[in-house]
Amino acid sequence: MKTDNLLLVLFAVYPVVRALWPMPRSLQTGTTLVKLSPSFSIEVDVAHPPQDLLDAVSRTNQHLKGDMLQRLIVGRASSDTAALVHAPSLTKLSLTLAPAEVTSVKSIMAEATKDIASRREGYSLTLPASGGAASIVANSTLGLFRGLTTFEQLWYADSAGDPYTYQAPVIIADDSPAYPYRGFMLDTARNFFSVSDIKRTLDAMSMVKMSQFHWHVVDSQSFPLSIPDFPELSQNGAYSSSEVYSSSDVQDIVTYAGTRGIDVLMEIDTPGHTAIISTSHPEHVACAQATPWENFANEPPAGQLRLASAATTNFTTSLITSIAKTLPSTLFSTGGDELNVNCYTQDAQTQAELDESGKTLEEALNTFTQSSHDALKALGKTPVVWEEMALDHNVTLSNSTVIMVWISSQDAAAVAAKNLRIVHSPSDYFYLDCGAGEWIGNDPAANSWCDPFKSWQKAYTFDPLANLTEAQTSLVLGGQQLLWAEQSGPENLDSIAWPRAAASAEVFWTGATLPDGTPLNGTTALPRLHDVRFRMVQRGINAIALQPQWCALRDGQCNM
């Protein structure tokens, strides 16, 4: 029998490498055990390799030796002890760039922060059943890094703690993501998260090949971002002097993310969700602290930027420019959600400025938005906004603008009808904070507005192309899961997000079907997600259990 045919037969018997998440888009596996040689090395066959690639190799070596994850089967590592005695050894992994790329080697971070349409993350991986040498070949250092992430997931610890894999040969040809945007959003304004909390989140994201950290850094409740040109904002708006992201903190986070294949999309939400700016610039904020707050805002405290004011427009544009110019990402979000019209109707200054200019509120909003967007474009940035800017307001948006669809997954079709690019962020699938009860103080019987709880199984059923025409599918950049932090802090960050958020990482990497052509299926995905969760815990990420361990060790025996 030819080797290729043999591999296909083996693939039919063992259709899934239990460890891999997200599932590669092509995959062949076998049933042979291979040990990692004590002398195993990773050879970087790249001229003048960038430091972040060398650092990634070092981390892979640490993970191979330090994960110490035993197989999730009854008997754990002892089940393979006898077979491992005569197993061949893998002595080397070589990393190679395709010949066309060897003259223009860029760092992982440089590749990860490219314009989203031009990122290259694909790789091919071969791990032979005979041991010897494995290989990863890619068109970029980012692709090599994605390949290293896959390679790490193949290994388990035996009873002595030595790594081995049990499904060699493994052949992955031209694995690349179905969508370039595979994100996680964290709100650091409702409650503060330290730099170490964010880095730990980035580590978890990188484990499942997420590519975008959407940092909702400020909001009405606090302004923890220190901006050198506007120091008064954080001085007056942070919860405390110790709950501030300095410029060096921001650059530390951005670099940490970039070297792990993640682009940082920062958001300064405007004109709504800006009440905190009144603590340093009351002249720019309408209806600050107005009561009852629910008449003037979706959350307390009330207050929105005076969008009809030329001075406020210039202030906002300068603020956004000041931070955006320091960031390598080509994406920057100006927000635009939940604008409260009543606030402006009740604000005498806004009404006077509208009368003086002869503009309607919508026309003033358009001028306000165009100012900041034009400034971003001058910096080479692409504006990102929430869906209301495209669907509810008469704002002129360039076709390059990225729209985050959040109110309902059903709204994506209306955005696509306007020929605007989409990042799926729907509250009915991807909001991680839903289902924890109401955070409003005097409403004990109420549930959260976006109930019920959004399980990983629910997120895993999401169809990125639902209700879109074939011509509109190219508008979908991907999607993200989101953690709004009214009821979250460092204490529950890991458990509320992981491994649940990994569901969308596979939806947007693997696409609609598995390598054998069958649709994504939560039942068959569960054993692999167990593996992700256990490996995360081994790396210090406090991911929550999905089932009793008894179930995790016995595939399918807890199904109904």
Q: Is 486 a catalytic residue?
A: no
Contact 224, 244 (CB under 8 A): yes
Please determine, for residue 1, whether its predicted confidence score (pLDDT) is greater than 80. no
Contact 355, 381 (CB under 8 A): no
Report, as an integer, the average pLDDT of 96-118. Answer: 92
Give residue 544's pLDDT band: very low, low, confident or very high (50, 70, 90).
very high
Report, as an integer, the average pLDDT of 254-274. Answer: 98
Percent of the chain with pLDDT over 70: 97
Q: What is the 3-state secondary structure (H, E, C) of 52-67?
A: HHHHHHHHHHHHHHHC
Q: 19-67: per-residue pLDDT in tens? A: 899 999 999 999 999 999 999 999 999 999 999 999 999 999 999 999 9
Give residue 4's pLDDT band: very low, low, confident or very high (50, 70, 90).
very low
Residue type, 82: A
| Residues 116, 268: Cα–Cα separation, whole Å | 20
| Residue 177: burial class (beta carbons within 10 Å; 0-12, 13-18, 19+) | buried
> Which domains occur in the chain, in start order?
3-178 (3.30.379.10), 184-504 (3.20.20.80)
Q: 429-451: per-residue pLDDT in tens? A: 999 999 999 999 988 888 899 99
Report residue 43: phi and psi, to 5°: -105, 125
DSSP 8-class letter at 338: -
Entry pTM: 0.96
Out of 243, 338, 438, 486, the active site residue is 338
Contact 268, 218 (CB under 8 A): yes
Q: 288-338: per-residue pLDDT in tens? A: 999 999 999 999 999 999 999 999 999 999 999 999 999 999 999 999 999
Residue type, 454: K
Please determine, for residue 473, whether its predicted confidence score (pLDDT) is greater than 90. yes
DSSP 8-class letter at 76: G
| Residues 452, 123: Cα–Cα separation, whole Å | 38
Please determine, for residue 5, whether its predicted confidence score (pLDDT) is greater than 80. no
Give residue 173's pLDDT band: very low, low, confident or very high (50, 70, 90).
very high
Give residue 16's pLDDT band: very low, low, confident or very high (50, 70, 90).
low
Terminal CA-CA length for the chain: 40
| Residues 195, 203: Cα–Cα separation, whole Å | 12
Q: 354-411: per-residue pLDDT in tens? A: 999 999 999 999 999 999 999 999 999 999 999 999 999 999 999 999 999 999 999 9
Contact 34, 131 (CB under 8 A): yes
Per-residue pLDDT, 12: 36
